[in-house]
Amino acid sequence: MSVTSFDLTKIRQDFPTLKQTINDQPLTYLDSAATTHKPQCVIDATNAFYSEQNANVHRGRHTLSEQATQRYEQVRDKTAAYFGVASNEIVWTKGATEAINLVANGLKNQITSSDTVVITPLDHHANIVPWQVLTQQTGATLAVLPLNADATFDIDACCDFIALHKPKLLAISQASNTLGNITDLAPLIRCAKSVGCLVLVDGAQGALHLKSNLNTLDCDFYVFSAHKMLGPTGLGALYGRSALLNSLLPYQTGGEMIETVTLTHSTFREAPAKFESGTPNIAGVLGFGAALDYLNRLNHQDIVNHEQALLQYAAHKLLKIDGITLYSELKHNIGTLCFNYKNEHPYDLATLLDGYGVALRSGHHCTQPLMTHLGINGSLRASLAFYNNRADVDNFIFALQNCIALLD
């Protein structure tokens, strides 16, 4: 890393993918909600494992294996410290999606036909479909938290809903992947706890931008994906309270997660090992460790201040264009603008924008219930990260105006 303070010019130099051209135009990357770019230190850490350190973890007494195991577990410690929890409360997964499925599967013996699971219309499919399957398998009731017409939560109404239904579990996102809206989780979690309800928070979008202390947040489970935090793809984690993790059924079985095995019976280790069968994504974990080191060398409040200033700058520019409908709430937002232009199909605009080197998301963003709630089939989404600058916004607005001129 070439910088230990928030020097945006130097920060951008740490991300090699930002230096390229797309369709003969400088890349303007506004799709960090889908995946963040990786600083060179993350790429180097991943390459170093395969070229110099390659060995399996937890399975050998030779030097390379012991070194790999030590480095691998050190990243678990770093991750736990980043979120303010204990190391044995962090389970490695393939990503946030697998982490949610792990919990949903693990609760099969605790959810009954007399229970209710509450989800929201705002969430990613990954935090909806697993709960649909769980309630179908157990006969439990699936209930949906009320949402205002503008896709914001009325916290009092939501608390009344929780108090009325007394659910066994509430699954909710920390921030909307489509809108960027930040959920006011504290009062919802307090209300859930008052009726004995477990709370799973999807932190896929919030982990980078909000950096929550999970003990303070007081949720029972929290999931995130490394690739949305500057790390490699194919890796994520589940945080869970130790006793709760150990109460879950195993998600997958096989080597490494067992305590004893006979031909007729097996016993399992305690979490996190209980949920980490097989050879893990070691290179991904070590790369994520480098991502955490990078983030820890920056002041998080500097990141927040920059992203929020850039969000307001981009929103101001976008809303000056006649025909733009903006669906995102701007006061509490991680840095994402969800919008449409008149009745133009978002795919058409996204394709035209790509001709100017502008990368953003178009479609339903894996949130079809939210699209239905908003009365649209899809939208465009420009999502910012701390490595974006005003030039990115200006390039985006310039390209959008030219694309609209072609369509009108």
Q: Check if the beta carbon of residue 159 is closer than 8 Å to that of residue 187.
A: yes
Q: Cα–Cα distance between 100 and 94 in angstroms, integer?
A: 11
Task: Report the relative pairing of strands 266-268 and 258-261 from DSSP bridges.
Answer: antiparallel
Give me 138's structure tokens: 């157990």
- Tally: H helices and E strands in the chain: 15, 17
Q: Where would I find the H helices in 107-255? A: 129-138, 155-165, 185-194, 206-210, 214-217, 242-247
Q: 53 — phi, psi (to 5°)?
A: -120, 0
Peptide bond into 130 cis (omega under 30): no
Name the maximum alpha-carbon separation found in the chain.
71
Give me 7's structure tokens: 């020097």
H or E element at residue 399: helix 390-407
Q: Is 267 left (phi over 0), alpha (psi -120 to 50) or beta?
A: beta
Q: Which of 41, 158, 338, 366 is catalytic?
A: 366
Indicate if 219 belongs to the active site: no
DSSP state of 183: P
**Which residues are identified as catalytic?**
366
